[in-house]
Amino acid sequence: MPVIIYPINLFDTSFFNLPHIELSTNIIGIGNKFIVHPLYQVVPEGVPHGAEIVEVGTRYHDLNYAVMSGDSSKKVERNAYREKSVLTTSLALNWAGIRYLRENKLELITNLGVESKKKPQPRNSTPVQIAAPRKVVLKHSDNSGSLHLGIGKVDGAFTYIVQGCLGDPNDEAAWKLEWQFSKIKGGVELTGLEPGKVYYVRVRCFGHAGYGPWSSYVHIMVV
């Protein structure tokens, strides 16, 4: 009979047996990893996202300290949040495992704040660095305080990272705004911008070989 691989078993989940404080800290860390992971910026309905993991982990963490400070009335809620935190984290890791089993991309189960049982396999050749987007077109949007950005498709790109700058575009510290998109067909909307200000925008991609270089920047005044 074939061996069935359960998605959650791709991870070392022994941390679920840690004492309360250590467990809650681990869960918050995993949530933060999901938040910044370029391949988990969008998840299906019903699958916990990174912010949800952080939220339940933080509540669990706070309840731990309340009990440790002598508030025994919080024990029942603390124990309930332990179960909720473990369940929420397990569901997210299961989804990551399912994606790995279907797509066979190691990046899907790495950098998630938990040890993976899968090890990188040696490759016959070095992955080619992903290219910088060449077709980057910035236009006014129909909505005030927004811009429409067109991005040409880049082969091998999983995620498109867009950065915005209000100051000197030659000053790296000025690039403080960031958006991430996995789908760019038809262009994307950059929202939350201030009318009357000139914004500089640049784009780079994330793929098998990591992050590619930034595109040339474009600029326009928001209306």
Separation between Cα atoms, residue 130 and residue 137, nearest integer Å: 20
**pLDDT beyond 60 at 1:** no
Domains in the chain (CATH in brackets) are 7-109 (no CATH), 136-221 (2.60.40.10)
Q: pLDDT class for 123, splitting at 50, 70, 90? A: very low
Both tokens of residue 202?
A: 């640049």
Whether the CB-CB separation of 45 and 60 falls below 8 Å is answered with: no
**Per-residue confidence band for 69, with pLDDT thresholds at 50, 70 and 90:** confident
Residue with tokens 């681990």: 26
Structure tokens at 87: 């369940």
Share above pLDDT 90 across residues of the chain, in percent, rounded to a whole number: 73
Instruction: Read off the pLDDT of each residue in 151-172 and give the average, rounded to a whole number.
Output: 91
What's the N-to-C CA distance of the chain in angstroms?
64
| pLDDT per position as a tens digit, 75-95 | 999 999 999 999 999 999 999
